[in-house]
């Protein structure tokens, strides 16, 4: 795989299990924060699944759409796009009501020095959205960053682990969850808190970051020595299917791949393919930010795209000089500074 067109096709190809579940979702769907990293491919995946299911369903999306190309591309694809600032109450209240909402809005990078905006996006806006869509099913994108670091051999934090976020970004994400939880209880709104880390496609993500370091012979920091990853197409599929599992009080669900991946091992795999010897600095800590997503596998099945396939696709992408999205994960961060 070497082109964005090929990548987009893979990301938006619905599985039979998704097509089956889409047919069970009652009503139309609004995607808030559509213009972000994952939103466009999620919307396309959803549209294809609806078409293949042979049903009629309105797909809407709202975002600032600072990238006009994405706005036009999604509109041409059949997505009803609304160009709005969600922090503007009048604009938010002017959006159509709908039976289902996938909430993807939020802020992470650039938090340091602009903490007030991150809190407004991640903790204030959720309350406004929860009141606006009190009668909808809402899947709320959250993050594994709300968990404490756990021992490597633990298998990752389960949904029963008490949150202990490090840094203001992660704290604001827990704020987002708590605000949505409050309105889920208050209004009886059915919700699912979708705790994701780390999604990737070939233009961004942990694998690309490690591969680029290996091929450019730059040091790889091993202090956060282990990670979880999941293919963005699988993560998007799970998010759509999560609309069938919303509850009140809000259900919590970890989303990631099944492996606890050694960063050193990963770099060595890329080293073999690139014929480069990885350069390492620091030693792996005994703990890391890790998710246990076994509950999601019980609901949805295992991800379709394996770790080995992701590695091989990343190798080909890097070798061919594939396009990149300049949004690093900062997976190495242990102090919560984003």
Q: What digits encode the pLDDT tens for the residues 160-181?
A: 999 999 999 999 999 999 999 9
Average pLDDT for residues 197-216, to the nearest whole number?
95
Q: How many CB atoms lie within 10 A of CB 160?
A: 8
Of all residues in the chain, the percent with pLDDT exceeding 90 is 91
Q: What is the CATH number of the domain that holds 45?
A: 3.40.50.720
**Residue 191's pLDDT is what?**
98
Residue 154 maps to a domain: yes
CB burial string 243-268: b at 16+ within 10 A, e below? bbbbebebbbbbbbbbebbbbbebbe
% residues pLDDT > 70 (the chain): 99
Mean pLDDT, rounded, for 240-265 = 98
Q: pTM above 0.75?
A: yes
Question: CB of 227 within 8 A of CB of 199?
Answer: no
Let me know if 34 is exposed, middle or buried by CB neighbors in 10 A (0-12, 13-18, 19+). buried
Would residue 271 count as lying in a domain? no
Whether residue 57 is predicted with pLDDT greater than 70 in this model: the reply is yes
Q: How far apart are CA 150 and CA 173, in angstroms?
A: 19
Is 89 within a domain?
Answer: yes
Residue 273 lies in a domain: no
Separation between Cα atoms, residue 326 and residue 253, nearest integer Å? 28
Is cis: bond before 249, omega within 30 of 0? yes
In a domain, 149, yes or no: yes
Which residues fall within 8 angstroms of residue 13, CB to CB, at 6 or more apart?
Answer: 45, 48, 233
What's the average model confidence in pLDDT over 255-261? 97
In a domain, 125, yes or no: yes
pLDDT tens per residue, range 61-97: 999 998 899 999 999 999 999 999 999 999 999 999 9
Report the number of distinct structural domains present in the chain: 1
pLDDT classification of 110: cutoffs 50, 70, 90: low
What is the extent of the structural domain holding 174?
4-201+230-258+290-303
Token digits for 207?
């694998």
CB 320 within 8 A of CB 6: no
Is 219 part of a structural domain of the chain?
A: no
């Amino acid at each position: 795989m070497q082109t964005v067109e090929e990548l987009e096709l893979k990301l938006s190809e619905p599985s039979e299990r998704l097509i089956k579940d889409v047919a069970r979702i009652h009503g139309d769907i609004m995607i808030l924060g559509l213009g972000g990293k994952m939103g466009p491919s999620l919307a396309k995946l959803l549209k294809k699944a609806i078409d293949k299911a042979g049903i009629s369903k309105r797909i809407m999306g709202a975002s600032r759409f600072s990238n006009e190309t994405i706005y036009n591309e999604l509109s041409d694809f059949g997505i009803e796009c609304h160009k709005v600032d969600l922090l503007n109450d009048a604009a938010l209240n002017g959006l159509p009501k709908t039976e289902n909402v996938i909430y993807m809005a939020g802020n992470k990078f650039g938090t340091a020095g602009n903490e007030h905006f991150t809190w407004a996006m991640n903790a204030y806006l959720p309350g406004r959205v929860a009141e606006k869509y009190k009668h909808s099913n809402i899947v709320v994108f959250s993050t594994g960053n709300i968990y404490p670091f756990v021992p490597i051999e633990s298998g990752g934090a389960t949904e029963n682990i008490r949150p202990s976020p490090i840094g203001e970004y992660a704290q604001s994400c827990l704020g987002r969850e708590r605000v949505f939880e409050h309105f889920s209880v208050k209004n009886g709104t059915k919700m699912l808190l979708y705790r994701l880390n780390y999604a990737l496609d070939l233009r961004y993500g942990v694998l690309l970051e490690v591969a680029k370091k290996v091929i450019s012979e730059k040091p790889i920091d091993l202090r956060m020595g282990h990670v979880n990853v999941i293919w963005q197409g699988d993560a998007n599929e799970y998010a759509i299917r999560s609309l069938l599992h919303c509850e009140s009080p809000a259900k919590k669900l970890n989303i990631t791949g099944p492996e606890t991946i050694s960063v050193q091992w990963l770099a060595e795999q890329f080293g073999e393919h690139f014929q480069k010897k990885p350069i390492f600095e620091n030693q792996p800590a005994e703990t890391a930010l890790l998710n246990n997503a076994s509950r999601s596998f019980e609901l949805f099945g295992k991800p379709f795209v394996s770790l080995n396939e992701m590695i091989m696709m990343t190798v080909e992408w890097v070798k061919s000089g594939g396009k990149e999205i300049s949004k690093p994960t900062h997976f190495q961060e242990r102090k919560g500074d984003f």
